[in-house]
A and B are shown apart, each in its own frame.
Chain A
Amino acid sequence: MATFVDQVRELGLKQATIAKVDEAVERLTAGLNVNDIRDMLRGEEPRRPNPRLRPHADGFWLHIRPSFYHTEVTHIYPSFRLGWLSTFMFVWETITGIFLMVFYTPSPDVAYADIWNILGNVPLGQLMRNLHRFGAEVMVVVVALHMLRTFITGSYKQPRQFTWVTGMVLLVLTLILSFSGYLLPWDQLAYWAVTVAVSAAEATPGPPALGENINLLLRGAPVIGAGGLLRFYLLHVLLLPLLLAIFFFVHYYKVVIHGHSLPPGREAIGEDTAKRVPRDERTYFLPDIATSELMWSALTILFLVAGAIWFYNAPLERHANPLVTPLHVVAPWYLAWSQGWLKLADKVFIAFIFIPGLATAFFLMPYFEVGKSRRYADRRLGISVSMLFIALMWISNWMGSPEYLVQSSPDQEVAQELLPQEGHSALKEVPYDFLEPGTYTPFDAEDAPNPYLAAALEEFERAMQQRSCSLSDDGPYEPCQVMDQGDTVRYGNRFTNDAMPDPEAQLIIDDYQDNMRRLTLVFSAPDPQNPGNELYAYTRTGYRHEMSNYEEETRLLQ
């Protein structure tokens, strides 16, 4: 090997430098010199022996990527690139997560303030948080779709059964990752959603000591506190990503070894299409697949950024309060199905028999679903079952959602709609300046001093209509259906069995401090059986500060 100085003497400085650069590039790329790269960019045929295979054979970064794909799997169908997208989302979450870690401390004393600091004092902090949280929800959807696609195309069949198993592990890890991150903002939403979900652990069948200890292990204390937050943080940031990376590599290795499955019509079970791809059906990674992946990366980034700015907003409720559970606590949407099921059956049955049973069935499915054909026509039963299962999951999800929730008394429910303890409401959409002090009834929408307040009052009327009834025929509400149940009389209407008869309702807005207004809802309904007594008498007060800026958030409704 001539030294650089010798080369300069021989070829002159310019040529020697070019040769040196060329050599460096070839070493960096493990086999491609500048001309090879240029040929790739021009779309030329590679020289022989094909240098574009060398980064895969000899290089680190590409050694796990296949050097070529069967052309039939390089289009959107059959994979829809969902496996690739899942991996991209994991990398995306890791990167955005690390940046958020710069400004977050997992201690109940400061976690919540840290989130507000990210939102209010860190440039692009809100964007980073939205990217991370939006990315998490996208990842859950993508991973589920990937699983669905793999099932429908029968790609889990021999020899790819274990790939499916590792994929199921990855699904579970993804869900737990999402769930553990949910607690970190330490607001009411996070705290109670996680408390509700983790409380299942206490119900572990067997000796009480087992359940207690599992509870302690997860929470770090009998209730979620500083220990719980730290444990969830470590899970979210260290253990689960590590496990996910390990299982990912196993999963991906097997995908490459067996080759990506072809569309069902083209690849029979057990056929080894990976090692025998005809030369004319190969698409090489460099440059074609690489270009494709780069383009999809660009599009995904654009989608995530635009989404995080314009159609997604990560919520933040008030500081976690272990002593006060707000009404209408919900699990995150991807776990709402479990809450739905929990409403149907016993906690122990659901958490320790039904869900584990279902999960086991899923994990082992490739080992007992051994139909001989991958073709859609031969798998009608399987595909129908999967569609049915998806429908079931939709329904369970709806059952676990706020609409289906446990209802308290009608006056509190109306108050909860207009002045919720946490979260969005019609009143929050009214900017501070338009909350004119005054007393308003549900029927004042037409006389409202401005359209914002009018809209809020319309919501007030709508909520009252759903939960009130009139005893006489010319009242403003639906006629009451009187249900005499012996020692109590209940009043219902078309919507509910629990309605207020002839209620008086008022919304009072007044000034409390110079820049803060007080919103009071007053409900009263006398007992028709017992005039002089109140059947319903309820007041709820909320406050609105000039700078609180709820209108911004409610623009991107959650």
Chain B
Amino acid sequence: MAEAAVAEGGMTRREFLYYIWGASMALFTAEAAGLLIYFAIPRFREGQFGGAFPVPVDLLPGVNAPPTNFPDGRFWLVNLDTSSGEGSERMSPASDESEPIVGVLAIYKVCTHLGCIYDWNGANERFECPCHGSKYRLDGRRIEDPAPRSLDRFRVEALDANQEVLATADTAVIADTTTYAPLVLPDGTATIRVDTGGRLDGPSQPLLCELRDSCP
């Protein structure tokens, strides 16, 4: 049943057609695989951890005030401004921070050491982790060991009253880590949307206690 006589090594029509079919099968399989992944990756609704959490702007804490807790979203919201004088016991610039830190941050509630949920200690004006003693400043910068890096951050967006996006947090490279910079809220912000599906590691800045020479 040989098709058109072709020299050994040349392709017959049938063989060619099989290859085309094979290619179409490969493409089909690739498409099916892609679509199945699209199918199987979980999607999160608003308000589910992994999805977006809208926060009305009136729930934002004051400038350099203690953080507001959002347990469902697993984040703290902080409102930072190192250039103002308020709240300096909680948030003052360190010696290696020349630029003022201004804006809103959504900080992940999980300690970067081994995954415990740390808490805000009002008396000591800082975050403290009960498991192994990691301590962090109001903006999440690590104060004491054993935290390997500062606290992780979620992407934050500012929305106006019509749910239009006014501004999105930029990424910044701090201490060789790409993380989210604090977001300055533009005028007209009605809602802050925290995307718990978009998380970046906190920067591995030097320990604050080392700069202040107060490490235990």
Q: Which residues of A contact B (CB under 8 A)?
A: 38, 41-45, 99, 102, 121-125, 128, 291, 294
Contacts and interface: CB of A to CB of B under 8 A. Distances in A.
Contacts of B19: 41
B2 A42 contact: yes
28 contacts: A38-B15, A41-B15, A41-B18, A42-B2, A42-B3, A42-B11, A42-B12, A42-B15, A43-B12, A43-B14, A44-B1, A44-B2, A45-B1, A45-B2, A99-B36, A99-B40, A102-B40, A121-B43, A121-B45, A122-B39, A122-B43, A123-B35, A123-B38, A123-B39, A123-B43, A124-B38, A124-B39, A125-B39
A45 B3 CA distance: 11
A291 B36 CA distance: 26
A128 B39 contact: yes
Interface in B1-24: 1-3, 11-12, 14-15, 18-19, 21
Contacts of A124: 35, 38-39
Contacts of B21: 294
B70 to A, nearest CB: 23
Contacts of B3: 42-43
Contacts of A99: 36, 39-40
A42 B25 CA distance: 18
A253 B39 CA distance: 36
B40 A43 contact: no
Contacts of B2: 42-45
Nearest to B45: A121
A261 B11 CA distance: 38
A393 to B, nearest CB: 37
Give the size category of B's interface with A: 10 to 19
Contacts of B45: 121
Q: What are the 6 tightest A-B residue pairs by CB atom distance, in nearest-first order? A: A41-B15, A41-B18, A42-B15, A42-B12, A43-B14, A124-B39
A102 B39 CA distance: 10
A43 B18 CA distance: 10
A429 to B, nearest CB: 30
Interface in B25-49: 25, 35-36, 38-40, 43, 45
A294 B24 CA distance: 12
A44 B11 CA distance: 12
A121 B2 CA distance: 53
B26 to A, nearest CB: 13
Contacts of B18: 41, 291
B69 to A, nearest CB: 28
Given A122-B39, A122-B43, A124-B35, 18 more contacts: A38-B15, A41-B14, A41-B18, A41-B19, A43-B2, A43-B12, A43-B14, A44-B2, A45-B1, A102-B40, A121-B43, A121-B45, A123-B38, A123-B43, A124-B39, A291-B18, A294-B21, A294-B25
A43 B21 CA distance: 15
B2 to A, nearest CB: 6
A83 to B, nearest CB: 24
Contacts of A122: 39, 43
A74 to B, nearest CB: 15
B123 to A, nearest CB: 44
A500 to B, nearest CB: 48
Nearest to A102: B40
A38 B45 CA distance: 52
Nearest to B18: A41
Nearest to B40: A102
Nearest to B37: A123
The residue in A38, A41, A291, A294 that gathers the most chain B C-beta atoms within 10 A of its C-beta is A41
B32 to A, nearest CB: 10
Q: Which residue among A38, A43, A125 has the maximum number of chain B CB atoms within 10 Å of its CB?
A: A43
A36 to B, nearest CB: 13
Contacts of B35: 123-124
A125 B40 CA distance: 9
A121 B38 CA distance: 11
A43 B12 CA distance: 9
Nearest to A128: B39
B8 to A, nearest CB: 10
A485 to B, nearest CB: 60
Contacts of A43: 1-3, 12, 14-15
A42 B18 CA distance: 9
A503 B2 CA distance: 81
Contacts of A294: 21, 25
A556 to B, nearest CB: 21
Contacts of A41: 14-15, 18-19
A386 B111 CA distance: 73
Nearest to A125: B39
Nearest to A44: B2
A85 to B, nearest CB: 20
Among B1, B3, B14, B39, residue most surrounded by chain A Cβ atoms (within 10 Å): B39
Nearest to A295: B21
A60 B19 CA distance: 25
B147 to A, nearest CB: 37
Nearest to B17: A41
Interface string B98-121: 000000000000000000000000
A418 B11 CA distance: 65
Contacts of B15: 38, 41-43
B118 to A, nearest CB: 33
Nearest to B1: A43
Interface string B117-139: 00000000000000000000000
A337 to B, nearest CB: 36
A32 to B, nearest CB: 14
Contacts of A45: 1-2
Contacts of A42: 2-3, 11-12, 14-15
B41 to A, nearest CB: 8
A123 B40 CA distance: 8
Contacts of B12: 42-43
A13 B141 CA distance: 56
Nearest to A45: B1
A125 B38 CA distance: 10
A121 B39 CA distance: 10
A76 to B, nearest CB: 21
A202 to B, nearest CB: 40
Contacts of B39: 99, 122-125, 128
A42 B14 CA distance: 6
